Amino acid sequence: MFEVGFTEIVLILGIALLVLGPDKLPKLASQVGRWAGRARAMARQLRQQLDEEVTVIPKDDFGPRAQKPPGTAPAPPASPSGADEGVKPPVE
C-alpha cells in the first residue's frame, strides 16, 4: 500500500496543530487513540471467533461427502468382483 515515514507524520502533526490549535489537538488525539483501540479490539475479537469456528468444524466436513446435498442417500458400495450382484444374465 503506502508507507508513512517519520517526516510525513511530523508534517501531518504540524498542519493539524496549525489548523486545530493547541487546545483542540489533545482532545482529537485522545479520540483518535480511543477509536484505534476499539478497532484493534474488534479485530482481535473477530480473529478469535474465526479461530474458534475453524477448530470446531471437523475435518470430515471438508471432504467429498460435504459436496453432496443434504438429505440424499449415500451410494451403495460396489461389489468386490466388479459385477452387479442383483442383475441376472438373460436366459436363452
Q: Is 89 helix (H, G, I), strand (E, B) or coil?
A: coil
- Residue 43 inside a domain? The answer is yes
Q: Does residue 86 fall inside a structural domain?
A: no
Total tally of structural domains belonging to the chain: 1
Q: How many residues does the chain have?
A: 92
73 and 79 Cβ atoms separated by less than 8 Å: no
Note whether residue 65 is domain-resident. no
CA dihedral in degrees (54, 55, 59, 64; nearest 10)?
Answer: -20
What is the residue-level pLDDT of the chain in tens, covering all 92 positions? Answer: 678 899 998 998 899 889 988 888 889 889 999 999 999 999 999 999 998 888 876 665 665 555 555 666 666 666 555 555 566 666 66
With respect to residue 46, please indicate whether it lies within any of the assigned structural domains. Answer: yes
Q: Residue 81: its pLDDT value, please?
A: 59
What pLDDT does 88 receive? 64
How many angstroms separate the CA atoms of 55 and 57, rounded? 6
> What pLDDT, on a 0 to 100 scale, did the predictor assign at position 44?
97
> What range does the domain containing 48 cover?
22-58
CB 25 within 8 A of CB 17: yes
Asked whether residue 35 is assigned to any structural domain, the reply reads: yes
